[in-house]
Amino acid sequence: MSAFIVSPAVAAALEEGRPVVALESTIISHGLPRPRNYQAALEFEQILTDVGVTPATIAVLDGVPRIGLDAHGVRRIAEEHLTKASVRDIPILAAAGASGATTVAATAHLAALAGVRVFATGGLGGIHRGASTSFDESADISTLAVTPVTVVCAGVKSVLDIEATLERLETLSVPVVGYRSKVFPSFWLRESAFTLDWTVDTAAEIARIMKSHDELGHGQGIVVANPIPADQQWDPTEHDRVLAEALALADEVGVTGKAVTPFLLLKIVELSGGRSLEVNLNLARNNVRLAGEIATAWAEVDRA
């Protein structure tokens, strides 16, 4: 018996060499408020389906890691109170017959096991502020160091230490390429203070990098930093004010560990009157679209 289940639709697409994009479930269960999260989950999948790409939303349900969810599974990740599951949690959930929404790390890990090579998310996890004393580093980073999946993201969330995150990715030899930008984005904003060494203009270029990556024996993932369009980014002044307030609240309450990011994201939604949520949804849609283009280009390169 397999330790995980690949849905019939995803299995058929992989077998036939058609494009597939992995989608995480934590963005649905922990990153967006109900009932908007369910609508977003359906929309992300539909964006891919509309362009001939098979969506593979990933989660652990009743102890079984699933790569590709049916309609009932999508509803479950949106409506049930699921554990936030990283890579280390997967075997524990499996042994207990429990359910969990997969983080970027867990989604990338399971996608790679199934042979899915492209993954769309909102923002990548990274090094937390104050990590020099707390040692708080997202497993997203270490997982990408050993997992050959191309992750499309709007950079890392600005609640994190962006400079330290980029340094860590460099140390672990994880390539970071900007999509039509030389500046690394900071989630709600198009730009951070940090420039990138490499930029690409097309999905086909990214697919060729993936091919070279494989041929040269590299086992790391690839980070594609995809800035939100200028007319959709959050107002920088309001962003800075709200972020400072949310960080202060987290310190006051004493939130730590993996609870920090979900706490901050929900507080930022509240403090911004929902404006950050709309930006979050726009950047996620943008990433899903680009991931679909990359997966389509990869399917063509992989068949060549």
Tokens found for residue 238? 């309001």
Q: Answer yes or no: is 161 a known binding residue.
A: no
Q: Is 136 marked within a binding site?
A: yes
Was 279 annotated as part of a binding site?
A: no
Residue 140 labeled ligand binder: yes
Please answer whether residues 267 and 273 qualify as being in contact, where contact means their C-beta atoms are separated by less than 8 angstroms. Answer: no
**3-state secondary structure string across 90-140:** HHHHHHHCCCEEECHHHHHHHHHHHCCCEEECCCECCEECCHHHHCCECHH
Rounded CA-CA distance 283/31 in Å is: 13
Active-site entry in 24, 45, 137, 293? 24
**137 catalytically annotated:** no
Which of 45, 157, 267, 293 is the catalytic position? 157
DSSP state of 220: S
d(CA 32, CA 203): 28
Measured in whole angstroms, how far is the alpha carbon of residue 2 from the centre of its chain? 25
- Annotated ligand binding at 201? The verdict is no
Q: How many CA atoms lie within 13 A of 170 on its CB side?
A: 9
Whether 267 sits among the annotated catalytic residues: the reply is no
CA 193 – CA 15 distance, rounded (Å)? 43
Judged by DSSP in three states, 44 sits in: helix
**How many whole angstroms separate alpha carbon 292 and alpha carbon 116?**
12
Q: Is 29 annotated as a binding residue?
A: no
* C-beta separation of 271 from 241 below 8 A: no
Q: From the centroid of its chain, how far is CA 178?
A: 16
Question: Active-site positions?
Answer: 24, 157
- Residues of the binding site: 84, 104, 136, 138-140
Cite the annotated binding site for substrate by residue number.
84, 104, 138-140
Binding-site residues from annotation for Mn(2+): 136
